[in-house]
Amino acid sequence: MLILARRPGESICLGENIRITVLSMQGKQVKLGLDIPADTTVYREELYKRAEEENKGAIPTNNEDLMVALQLWKRKKP
């Protein structure tokens, strides 16, 4: 992990397209401004992890399910 110290108003750049600026600090809270491309998606880590876990459990499969799906797919081919 890279650790950088920045003061309010200072920025770091990630590549050519992303700039993160420290906007303010109040107690334990830091406000960041992100200049990112419009097609870049940003998630808060705790929400990303929760969605990832829900997706893993949403459609449990096993090898037998995959083999049945493959056989059905092969039957539908002309």
The 10s digit of each residue's pLDDT in 2-20 is 999 999 999 999 999 999 9
Return the bridge partners of 12, or none: 20
* Separation CA 59–CA 56 (nearest Å): 7
Element (H, E) at 29: strand 29-35
Q: Which of 1, 34, 42 is nearest to 17 (CA)?
A: 34
Look at residue 77 in the predicted model and tell me its pLDDT.
62
Q: Do the bridges between strand 11-14 and strand 18-26 make them parallel or antiparallel, or are there none, so unpaired? A: antiparallel
Look at residue 72 in the predicted model and tell me its pLDDT.
86
> pTM to 2 decimals?
0.63
The 10s digit of each residue's pLDDT in 28-68 is 999 999 999 999 999 999 999 998 888 877 776 677 877 88
